Amino acid sequence: MINHIWGLLSNPGREWRNIDRERESITNLYARHVLLMALIPVVSAFIGTTQIGWQLGGDAYQVAVPTAAVLGIVFYILMLIGVAIMGNVIHWMSDSFASRPSRSRCIIFAGYVATPLFIAGIALLYPKAWLLLIVGIIALAYSARLLYVGMPAFLRIPVNEGLTISGGTLAIGVLVLELLLALTVALWGLGFNDYAVSWSLFR
């Protein structure tokens, strides 16, 4: 739930055990955590891109409000799907282990591991490339820590096995994140009159 945020940031080992005791469902995870947390980058991006604009080189490109609204909705949906995808990836990677966790448990795990990335979305209030890069690296590093600590504490996967899964999951997670961002940016070229932004990002 939303009240697990501080615990995951300050004492992840203890908080993973608290989450484990709650035995929540995927429905509860989304209703009480993911749906709310995913709003952080969406709302921040909406404000940042419409009021300040993408900082690309020396120029700033503001996005029209209707465009930003559509992109926000699409990005929000993609993030919700992304959590489920990562949960399934973790479940698939744990296939060879005797202590393989259930699919729903892996999705719940992925939802909480994504917490630092959701919080990092605040940086989109000022969408400048160097700031997003720094905040993104820090968020990924902390998500990696949550992965490593949570494997034995929540998924019951031994540390030596969890290290392998953590590394693979983080690598795939980065690829999924990049894909989500690429899909969102690509939408600027679908008749939204923001071709300059799309071209500048991919140039």
Residue 85: name the closest of 164, 158, 180, 2 by CA: 180
Say how far residue 25 (Cα) sits from the centre of its chain.
19
Domain boundaries, the chain: 1-195
Q: Which pLDDT value is given to residue 189?
A: 40
Q: Which pLDDT value is given to residue 143?
A: 87
Q: How far apart are CA 141 and CA 159, in angstroms?
A: 18
Q: Residue 106 in contact with residue 90, Cβ under 8 Å?
A: yes
Residue 22 carries which side chain, given as an amino acid letter? E
Q: How far apart are CA 88 and CA 82, in angstroms?
A: 10
Q: How far apart are CA 62 and CA 46, in angstroms?
A: 10
Q: Which pLDDT value is given to residue 194?
A: 47
Q: Which pLDDT value is given to residue 30?
A: 95
The Cβ of residue 110 has, within 10 Å, a number of other Cβ atoms equal to: 26
Q: How far apart are CA 33 and CA 14, in angstroms?
A: 18
Mean pLDDT by 10 residues, the chain (203 residues): 83 92 91 93 89 70 82 88 88 76 91 91 84 85 86 79 64 64 52 44 43
- 188: tokens are 């600027």
Q: Residue 53 in contact with residue 62, Cβ under 8 Å?
A: yes
